[in-house]
Amino acid sequence: MGENLNNQGSLKKALSPIGLWAIAVGLVVSGDYYGFAYGFAEGGPVSFLVSFIPVTLMYVPFLFCYTELATSIPHAGGPSAYARRAFGPFAGFVTGFSVLIAFLISPCAVALATGALVNYLIPSIPALAATVVFFIFFMLVNLFGIETSSKLELVVTIVSLVGLVVFAVLAIPHFELDTFKGVAEGESVFTNGFMGIAGAMTFSMWFYFAIDGAAMNAEEMKDPRDIPKGYIPAVATLFITSLIAIILPAGIADYNAIASVDYPLAIALETPYGADAIWPKLIAAVALFAMVASFSAIILSFSRQTYAMGRTGYLPAIFAKTNSKGCPTVGLIVPGTIALIVTVLTNDTGLMVTISVFAALIMYTIAIVSTFVMRKKEPTLERPFSAGKIMPVLALIFVIVLFVCVLWANISVLIWVIVVYAVAVIYYFAYGKKNIRPIEEEFNMD
């Protein structure tokens, strides 16, 4: 263990609050352009909008808890590190594995949507070919380190947000409340009852999903105490953009027409402006910037998670070695290659979203409970930011609500989740627990 763990690279402290904001928003912003529209099919637009309420009531307090943990324990492992400090090495492994599953599957969905967008704009280019080229190119870009990645994130994130503003300006004059309701007069707007709302929650989570990945860049912050300056504005930004994506497309077009496509904003604009108009194509082109923002930020995050797990000893130590730019090369390329293979073999955006959400909910639950445990276990730990007393309670209540609803609506996927976690547990007891770095050494504890 000593030979491997003492021969590692380190991450570079080059990240500012605006850079963290760009990564946090960039991680998620593509969700305003694709993936979410499958939620319309669950119970109609009104059910989808209602489902967004408990999702927001979970994410906002959860991110307050997360910020408290990230500022007090600025560690590249993010929730894996918090869980280890709170519960021990096995909890740290399970949490880190959950992050990897969520962050390995979600770029598959982003890449698939990107391929579909390219094919929509240039039909002569096969969607899957565009997906593979996109995946490989932007995975290689991240080898240039956090400084290059954060600058790229800032540019593409701003372009993506401008695109959503342009979409709103184009859509608002054509918005009709009756169109948004999606039903004939006198019929219930909740077309599938409670199940419609519960099923839509999976896709409502897509509007915030992966924002927690920015905490895995905490070690690369110039000053970890500045994390709230990037995180809290990011949450506010995403709340506004989410409302644009839920309300406006279904208010200008038949939601059934956009509920099964990977570029719903562009298709929605075809109703008022026509399929041959410039505006749908423009929004589809801007959506590519959003895909770059999310894809680049997600693989940045999962490479930091593999780096942290390699440094801790959960994974082989080679995952923690960095290049001259401070990028964990093996920690980026190996999981990226696995994600690419999964993308090609699966080719199903909706399934990718669902599996990612299951893994994320497991991680969220452990991270929220870690907040309570760490306050009791290490009361003297310096906490530059506090989530207060109410936020962790709200986060725990609503994460349980979301877990039950997502499980209820997606019970058929559960068997795959169980199989994947069973394999992970076997790996931990066969290898992972044998090489774990002492907690005092990893966290520089006296």
pLDDT in tens, 265-305: 999 999 999 989 999 999 999 988 888 888 887 887 788 88
Q: Residue 270 belongs to what domain range? A: 2-442
Dump pLDDT digits (tens) for 233-276. Answer: 999 999 999 999 999 999 999 999 898 887 899 999 999 999 89
Longest dimension (CA), the chain: 72
First to last CA, the chain: 21
Give the integer Cα–Cα distance in Å for 392 and 379: 16
**In this structure, what token pair is assigned to residue 244?**
């644009």
CA 85 to the chain's CA centroid:
23
The string over 152-172, giving b where at least 16 C-beta atoms fall within 10 Å of a residue's C-beta and e elsewhere, is: bbbebbbbbbebbeebbebbe
pTM metric for this prediction: 0.82
Dump pLDDT digits (tens) for 13-34. Answer: 778 888 889 888 988 888 898 8
The pLDDT of residue 347 is: 64
Cα R_g (the chain), whole angstroms: 21
Give the integer Cα–Cα distance in Å for 145 and 303: 11
What mean pLDDT is predicted for residues 42-65? 93
Answer with the residue of higher pLDDT: 445 or 201: 201
Half-sphere exposure of 196 (CA within 13 A, CB side): 17
The pLDDT of residue 349 is: 60
Count of CB atoms situated within 10 Å of the CB of 349: 24
pLDDT bucket at 348, cuts 50 / 70 / 90: low
Closest CA to 286 of 414, 441, 168, 181: 168
Q: Where are the alpha helices (DSSP H) in 73-88?
A: 79-87
* Cβ partners under 8 Å of residue 404, min gap 6: none
The pLDDT of residue 163 is: 95
DSSP state of 221: B
pLDDT bucket at 124, cuts 50 / 70 / 90: very high
Look at residue 355 and tell me whether its pLDDT is greater than 80: no
Number of domains the chain is built from: 1
Dump pLDDT digits (tens) for 372-398. Answer: 999 999 999 999 999 999 999 999 999
Answer with the residue of higher pLDDT: 119 or 417: 119
Letter for the amino acid at 140? L
What mean pLDDT is predicted for residues 312-316? 91
The pLDDT of residue 103 is: 80
* Residue 266 belongs to domain with CATH number: 1.20.1740.10
Look at residue 11 and tell me whether its pLDDT is greater than 70: no
Using CA atoms of 426, 431, 432, 436 in order, give the dihedral in degrees to the nearest 10: 150
The pLDDT of residue 431 is: 87
The pLDDT of residue 445 is: 64
The answer to whether the Cα torsion of 345, 347, 353, 354 is positive or negative is: negative
Look at residue 438 and tell me whether its pLDDT is greater than 60: yes
Tell me which H or E stretch contains 311. Answer: helix 278-312
The pLDDT of residue 240 is: 95
Answer with the residue of higher pLDDT: 413 or 172: 172
